Amino acid sequence: MPEPTDTTTGRYLVLIDEGSAAAGARELSSVAGIRTASTLEGATAESLGTVDGVIYSNLGVAVVNAQPDQVNALAAAVEAPGPIALVEPERVVQALAAPAQENVTAAVDESVFTWGLQAVGANISTATGKGVRLAVLDTGFTVNHPDFAGRTVLTQSFIAGETVDDAHGHGTHCIGSAAGPRKPASGGPGYGVAYEADIYAGKVLSNAGFGSDGGILAGIDWALNNGCAVISMSLGSAVRPGTPYSQVYETVGRRALSKGTLIIAAAGNESRRPDKIAPVGHPANCPSILAVGAIDDQRAVAFFSCGTVDTVGQVDVVAPGVNVYSSWNGKSGDSLHKRIQGTSMATPHVAGVAALMAQQHNARGWELWARLMQSARRLGVPATDAGAGLVQAP
């Protein structure tokens, strides 16, 4: 067995096709002579002392001890038809302690602007997003929200049997962060980054919060046809480590960039720091889709924020995603606004900043991507968690 390094354990991970754990065990034995035990039969990581490998049936992953010739045999099995989909060295995943907060500053004053607007410098930028079209693909929009009276809002539902009206609330919250007001008609702090952008609200998730690739791709197509410079997607599905990104979304991301549209997506909320760092989900894990992680008002990475686990599928930037105040789908009073958390909330902050840059520099596509990365404020946390850092308004 190879020696462990700082980043690998010396063992290997074998990804087995979904639902093929038993066939995978047979294949490991026949092609490489690796004897495995299954967690379904009570095996644990400690079983590696008595067998060559342990199969985590629910994950479709085996952890195996393998000599170099066995690794070669497994690599050949990946190329050939059969249940073995991928072989890779097992990594050491570093548990990250929250950054030290020796001098915890007082809670941010949110009497005028949310902490999120202040953290990205939107409140001190002269840009407004005026003339820039910004699409938010989510659960829809509360069309009659008083804070958006007089704004240009175009809507389209891609969910059969549901109007664009946001019975969930999530979409209205995201639109608020990206493009809501600085002086809300219903009172409270200003919460919108690109407060004069034209809003394109595409409903690609149902009122229950679910959708499929078909509706999302249709929403992206709609945004491109309408000349949107920015698409904000606070949606996704969790992936296992080592899962290849979608070739379809990657192609779509590249084509969108070449047509002057930047797609920004939430990295995902599956981490449980410091114990577990989950990989960036689909479709944010595509290289040509900008993946956004979340930080709190002390600039610490949020406990749930997905991180860079695989060689592709990185976090590109971070933005405010904890205790985020924005619009909600209620009809009056307290239900017009809500505080929630998630990389879903960080994503529209980045989309709003991108819209400000699109206005300020007349930047589109790859140039917009580059300007976001160039100007992001570097944080004292690993690039695998924060990418280039905290986005900053122009």
Partner 1 sequence: MVPVAVTVADGIAPSTVVPALERAGMAVDRVLDALGVVTGTVPAEGVFALREVPGVVHVERQRQVGLPGV
Footprint on this chain of partner 1 (rule: CB under 8 A):
139, 168, 170, 205, 209-214, 216-218, 220-221, 224-225, 234-238, 246-248, 251-252, 255-256, 259, 266, 268-270, 281-283, 304, 341-344
Catalytic residue set: 138, 170, 344
In angstroms, give the least distance from the CB of 302 to partner 1. 9
**Contact present, 328 and 335 (Cβ < 8 Å):** yes
Q: Which is nearer to partner 1, 211 or 387 (CB)?
A: 211
The backbone region for 169, taken as left when phi is positive above 0, alpha when psi lies in -120 to 50, beta otherwise, is left
**Residue 72 vs 251, nearer CB to partner 1:** 251
Q: How many CB atoms lie within 10 A of CB 44?
A: 10
Nearest approach in angstroms of CB 24 to partner 1 is 20
Cβ of residue 105: shortest distance to partner 1, in angstroms? 25
Count CB-CB contacts under 10 A for residue 248. Answer: 12
CB of 248 to partner 1, least distance (A): 5
Paired residues of 89 in beta bridges: 12
For partner 1, the closer CB: 32 or 351: 351
Distance CA 292, CA 369 (A): 12
Asked if residue 164 lies in contact with residue 157, where contact means CB atoms within 8 angstroms, the answer is yes
Q: How far is CA 271 from CA 207, 234, 263, in A?
A: 25, 16, 23
Q: Which is nearer to partner 1, 83 or 190 (CB)?
A: 83
Choose among 303, 307, 193: nearest CA to 241: 307
